[in-house]
Amino acid sequence: MQQSAIIGNVLNELADVIAQMSNEEYTKCSLHLSGATIGQHTRHIIELFQCLHDGYYVGTVNYENRKRDIRIETDRDIAIICIEGISSNIYKEDKPVVLEAEFGGTTMISVNSSYNRELIYNLEHTIHHMALIRVGIHELTSISLSEKFGVAPSTIEYRRKCVQ
């Protein structure tokens, strides 16, 4: 359950930052993100957690089956509500799940995994996208970010040790 608390903290940090920006900033195309928006990266994070949540109950997770709900990427208030929902629903008992992935539209690969393993994958994935969001925030807003926003915990620890 420790990973759930860590994920909740990371998601809360993301929601807090999104709450500081305007919808215009949230939906503005970023030159440094190849024309993507902060909202698009946020939607991607949210929908992977939603896929894991839905897959938990049927025992199969397929991240390609995202809803791609444009409202999440265009309305920061909806994104924040979704993040809060994820944070309050990630505390589940670990259990086996099958991860399905499609490659090239024709090849389906299935591998055994577990809910906790997929939570960790989603945490790593979230931090990666938060690093990209950080780039967009610096380009499009005047929001000050913590030095930990979008940085892996292992990198933070490494940097801390290097300073000593």
Angle at 33 between CA 121 and CA 38, to 5 degrees: 70
The pLDDT of residue 154: 77
pLDDT level of residue 26 (50, 70, 90 thresholds):
very high
CATH code (residue 149): 1.20.120.450
What is the residue range of 21's domain? 2-163
Ordered DSSP codes for the chain: -HHHHHHHHHHHHHHHHHHHS-HHHHHSPPGGGTT--HHHHHHHHHHHHHHHHHHHHHTEEEGGG----HHHHH-HHHHHHHHHHHHHH------EEEEEEEETTTEEEEEEEEHHHHHHHHHHHHHHHHHHHHHHHHHH------TTTT--HHHHHHHHHHH-
Q: What letter represents residue 81's amino acid?
A: I
Dihedral, CA atoms, 86, 92, 98, 102, nearest 10 degrees? 10
Largest CA distance in the chain: 52
The pLDDT of residue 155: 81
The pLDDT of residue 2: 76
Q: Rounded to whole angstroms, how far apart are CA atoms 134 and 147?
A: 10
107-132 tens-digit pLDDT: 889 999 999 999 999 999 999 999 99
Burial class, 80, CB count within 10 angstroms (exposed 0-12 / middle 13-18 / buried 19+): middle
pLDDT level of residue 4 (50, 70, 90 thresholds):
confident
The pLDDT of residue 25: 97
144-154 tens-digit pLDDT: 999 889 988 77
39-84 tens-digit pLDDT: 999 999 999 999 999 999 999 999 998 999 999 999 999 999 999 9
The pLDDT of residue 107: 81
Q: How many domains does the chain have?
A: 1
Whether 105 shows a pLDDT value over 60: the answer reads yes
The pLDDT of residue 86: 96
The pLDDT of residue 1: 54
Total-model pTM: 0.92
